[in-house]
Each structure stands twice: as structure tokens, then as C-alpha cells.
Amino acid sequence: RTDQLVVYYQPKIDLDTGEVHSVEALVRWEHPIRGLLYPDSFLHLVEEFGLMPTLTRVVLDQALDQAAAWHAQGQQLTVAVNLSASSLVDSDLPRQVASMLAARNLLPGALQLEITEEFLMADPDRARSILTQLRGTGIQISVDDYGTGYSSLSYLRDLPIDELKLDRSFIFPMADDVRAAALVASTIALAHGLGLRMVAEGVETHVAYTELAALGCDQAQGYYTSRPVPAAELDYLLRNRRSANKLTDSPPITGLG
């Protein structure tokens, strides 16, 4: 039942300004009996039944509707949508996405697509062709869970991508492990050397947030600034963060609304 799928949003905060320019769309299933289900509990079934293209389309539809609504309110938020490796088989994807953007009068810059290293490695030639088409129109491409795969460094050099999202397993141990911190620092340098933006995932603490800012990481995403929430709640959060938050040292979210 695709009408039971809802999309939550989690902000990616610019570490140099505290502003939010993009949000990640994360799917939820509002099950009439079992309540709100998280993707880890149902995505494998969606995949197994061959329904991933349908799910991707439903999420893109909702996320782009929301982006259009935000733009109409004067909030130029970019939405990031996750693409599973199975989306690779769909060579019509670039055309579909282009027409979904056009139908809403959205510029391609309003959309980011998050792919995994699995997506890149399953069929590198095909991945390159689809990504080149998507990115050629102005859609941004982000590599999710960066660092967890077994892929080679060469794709960083060769593939058309804009952003790396460093997996949260690297962020968590950073605070009390100098080697973990060194790894994060050099990965940020690697990304910047290649002209890529670096986003840290799973930023849960003030310590991690300030450390990442000090290291020159571009954006942070995680429970420290916000859990994924429905769009209306995100609006509220972005508008009232300072007054609603009891912590005086919470990262500022400004520049919106």
C-alpha cells in the first residue's frame, strides 16, 4: 500500500554557518496495525518483491512535492533521496527524474541522490552512464555510507559525484580515539582535494559536532541537531530551534524562513 508510505526529513547542517540548505528524505511505513515502521524492517521485503522502483518513485514524488512547497514559501531547501543499488537496472531513471522535476517547476539543483558504494560497484559502467546522465542535468550525486564498502579509490577519481557522506561508524569513536579522529581528518582532506563536499553522518554529540567543524567538514547530520521528522515538524524546528531548545550551546540554525 503505497499510500501508507510517508517521508521524514533530517537536516544537513552547514558547519561553517549553522544554516540548513539541504535535508535527507527517509521513508517510513505508517502501518495501520503495527504503527510506524522503519526502513530496516521493510526495505528487504520491498527489494525481494521487486517493488523498489515503486518505492523510489513514491519517495521522489513526496520529496519533490515537499521541495516545491518549501520553495514556494521562499525556503530554497534541497532534498536528498536515497537510491538503492537495484535502481541501477532502471536505465529510464534519468528521464523519469527530469520529468518529475519539470512537472513541479523545480531546478535540478533542488535534488540530490544518495547512492551507496554497492550501487557503484555492482556494475560500474552502468553506474557511470546513469550517474553521468543524472548529474549532467544538474542533479547532485552523493556517496552514502562512505568508508564501509570494499571499493577502490579509483571511482572517486573517475565517477561523477559531488559529495561523500562519511559513515557514522567513523564519527562515533572520534571523540576518544586519536586514530579514529586522524582518519576522519584525512578523509575530509581527501574529499576536499578531489573537490568533493564532505558530510558527516550520525553526529550525536556536541563534541563530535565542534570537532568536525574544527576539521573543516562541510556538513553534519545526526541526532545532535535533529532526528528525522515530518515536514511540518522540520518547519517548526527550523523556525524555533533557538527558543525551543533548552541547550544554550546548541548549534544555531539560521538563514531560513
Residue 11 in the binding site for ligand C2E (CB under 6 A): no
- Binding to Ca ion (CB under 5 A) within 165-224 occurs at 201
* Spatial separation of the C-alpha atoms in residues 256 and 74, rounded to whole Å: 8
* Ordered DSSP codes for 24-81: EEEEEEEETTTEEEPHHHHHHHHHHTT-HHHHHHHHHHHHHHHHHHHHHTT--PEEEE
* Ordered DSSP codes for 180-227: HHHHHHHHHHHHHHTT-EEEE----SHHHHHHHHHTT-SEE-STTT--
Residue 40 in the binding site for ligand C2E (CB under 6 A): yes
Residue 78 in the binding site for ligand C2E (CB under 6 A): no
Residue 79 in the binding site for ligand C2E (CB under 6 A): no
Nearer to ligand C2E, 171 or 181 (CB): 171
Nearer to ligand C2E, 150 or 154 (CB): 150
* Spatial separation of the C-alpha atoms in residues 147 and 138, rounded to whole Å: 25
Q: The cell 521541495 sits on which residue?
A: 67
For residue 76, the minimal CB distance to ligand C2E (Å) is 22
* Spatial separation of the C-alpha atoms in residues 176 and 257, rounded to whole Å: 37
Residue 222 in the binding site for ligand C2E (CB under 6 A): yes
Q: Which of 56, 81, 114, 197 binds Ca ion (CB under 5 A)?
A: 114
Longest Cα–Cα distance in the chain: 50
Nearer to ligand C2E, 38 or 236 (CB): 38
The three grid cell numbers given for residue 155, joined into one nine-digit string: 571511482
Q: Which of 29, 88, 119, 145 binds ligand C2E (CB under 6 A)?
A: 145
Residue 117 in the binding site for Ca ion (CB under 5 A): no
Residue 108 in the binding site for ligand C2E (CB under 6 A): no
Choose the binding region for ligand C2E from 122-130, 181-189, 221-229, 245-253 (rule: CB under 6 A): 221-229
Q: The cell 517493488 sits on which residue?
A: 51
* Spatial separation of the C-alpha atoms in residues 35 and 33, rounded to whole Å: 6
Q: Which of 6, 18, 21, 39 binds ligand C2E (CB under 6 A)?
A: 39
Residue 163 in the binding site for Ca ion (CB under 5 A): no
Q: Interface with ligand C2E by CB under 6 A: which residues?
A: 10, 26-27, 38-40, 43, 59, 82, 84, 114, 144-145, 168, 202-204, 222-223, 228
